[in-house]
Structure formats: C-alpha cells, structure tokens
Amino acid sequence: MSKQLVTMLLALLLAAGVGAAVGAGVALSTENDPVAAGTTTTVPTGESVAQTTSSVAGLYGRAKDAVVEVHVSDGGAGGATGSGFVIDKQGHIVTNQHVVASGGSVSVEFSNGSEVNAEIVGTDPSTDIAVLDVNRPPAELTTLSFTTESSLEVGEPVVAIGSPFGLAGTLTTGVISALGREIVSPNGFTIENAVQTDAALNNGNSGGPVLDLQGRVVGVAAQIRSESGGSQGIGYAIPGDTARRVAADLIQDGSVEHAYLGVSLPNDGAARINEVVPGAPADSAGLQAGDEVTAVDGNAIESGDELREAIDSKRPGDKLRLTITRSGDERTVEVTLGERPASAQ
C-alpha cells in the first residue's frame, strides 16, 4: 500500500484482536433493557465523578473506576478487546459498535479486576456507538457524565483512559487538537463533529472515554490516523453529544433510526449536491446533481455540514423544505426523509 493511501486511511479502528473489521454488519440486539412504554430515556450530563480538579492524578483517581475493559469472545482462540465506561447506576456501559461487531459473547472487567458478563442492549454502526448492560449493584458503580459540544475549545486539556494493547487503566494526556472533524463510520456513513486529540490512542482504546479536566466525557475514542498503525498524535473521538443521544435511544429502543436524504455532499464549502442516490428520497423529490441547497425550512445554510446537521436532527418520515439554486434559478423542494440504509451506497 502506498504512503499516500495509508495517509488517507482514516478508519484505523482501535479494537485489539480480531472481530473489529471496518464495515462489519451486525443486526441490532432485541434484548433491550426494560423501559416502560412511552417513557423517554436520558443519559446524564450532570455530576457523577465530574468536579474541578487541580491535578490529572486526582482526575484519574476519580474516573478510573468508571472505565472498563471490554472482552468479546468469538468462541475460539481469538476475540477482541476494547474499552468502555459506565454511564448510569443501572449498569449501562458505552463502547464502540466495532468493538462488539463480531457478535460474540461479551464481558467487562472493572478496575478492581472483577469480571462480569454483559448483554448488548443495542448497537448503531452509523455512529459507532454500542450500549452494554451489566448486573452489578448500583453502590459498586462509578459513573461518568457527558459534556456538551458547545463547551469545548481547541487547546483544552483532555485525558484518555482505556486498555491499549490490553493494558487496563492506562491514562494518556493531550489537548483538543481540532473540532468539527468528519470520520467514516463502520457502515460507511459520515460521523459529524468528531473531536481530534493528540492524547495517544492505540489498539484497545476503542470505546474508552476522552475526558476534560472536570472528568466529563467530551468524546468516545474511536479512530486514529496513522501511517504505521500506531499512535502518531492524530486520534478521533465520537462527540459526546452524539454518544449521549445515541446511547439514550439504544437504551430505550435497542436501535436508532437515522433520517436519510440520499445525496453526497462535499466535505467543505457550499451544500452543492455531488450525486443523488437512485430511488432515494432526494431522487423522488426531483433533486439533481449540481443543485445547491441554500436554506432548510426557511433557515439559510452555507455548507454541507449544516445540511447534514439539519437531516440528523430529523426522524424518518419528517419533511424538509429545501431552497435550492439550479442553473441560476431559485426554487423550493419538499422532501420526505427516509430511513438510512444499513450501509452507504
């Protein structure tokens, strides 16, 4: 493989061992945690271990018990190892979808060395988030909470805790190197607003938390960009806002529905449609390659990112009123969004 191709490989997923292939399809689990019909599940953003600390050591002392090592057995000599973290006293644990993608039996090991079996509540390959459930007394669980994307700043110190190469409880330090990055999910769709960090991430860090110095989760470690396969100071974490929202949906329903327009857009610049997927909602509404979307539901947009965010905020079946320009003419098109397919086409 050429150096250029390796450099462009953004999806070096960080689960150690086998069973973590890019794009491996997994049916969503139907073994959901019981949630009363009609209720809404929330994932906390409030206090757990989060509090102001004067040292990284102090932060680690509070947070380490919430971080687990995830073991996935394929029934043979192989398997996968990743990381995860507890998000509530009911025993729900967030990790990466690609860590558990093999569908093997799952267990988690806590910082005190105790290991318990875990059930997969649900997985979402479009965001590379999975939720596990363990049967453990609430008094024995330490939890982490999420911070909001709007509170993050480039240059802000962060730490990552996980099990690189199976070395449980490893802490690395760095800063938020950039915000608003785009990375590719296991099923080929774009994950928006990824957090870039130079805190070292390696095989086995997948699914572990990236924390600010208040102990709040700013992102879920997921990918690296590397020519060697090891950490070179460019790691990516799924944004905490996304992880929190998806985890809540998985806990409540066992799956996540993503709205789907069916167009390809540039990674930067105006929201000009590069391609329309045949048979997709955009095709049915008459959108064409070359159309530039300038407003959504009457609100002006200036980039493809803003259009993607508008779609992500909707549900399948919702309608969008798109203002477009085509060959210099402005027109309005109403689109009924569909449900995202299992993989990008």
CATH class for the domain made up of 259-339: mainly beta
Active-site choice (48, 65, 71, 98) = 98
Q: Does the annotation mark 206 as catalytic?
A: yes
Show Cβ contacts of residue 330 under 8 Å, excluding neighbours closer than 6 positions.
294, 323, 324
Active-site choice (128, 241, 249, 291) = 128
pLDDT at 2 over 50: no
pTM: 0.83
Which CATH code fits 3-26+46-253?
A: 2.40.10.120
Contact yes or no for 28/342 (Cβ under 8 A) = no
Show Cβ contacts of residue 29 under 8 Å, excluding neighbours closer than 6 positions.
119, 120, 121, 122, 123, 254
Active-site choice (48, 206, 226, 231) = 206
CA torsion 246→156→84→240, rounded to 10°?
A: 0
Q: Does the annotation mark 71 as catalytic?
A: no
H/E stretch holding 211 reads: strand 209-212
What average pLDDT does the segment 101-112 reach?
94
For 4-59, what is each residue's pLDDT tens digit? 333 333 333 445 553 332 222 222 222 222 222 333 345 665 456 655 555 899 99
For 279-296, what is each residue's pLDDT tens digit? 999 999 999 999 999 999
Say if 3-26+46-253 and 259-339 have the same CATH topology. Answer: no
The residues spanned by each domain of the chain are 3-26+46-253, 259-339
Q: Give pLDDT, residue 28.
A: 20
Q: Does the annotation mark 98 as catalytic?
A: yes
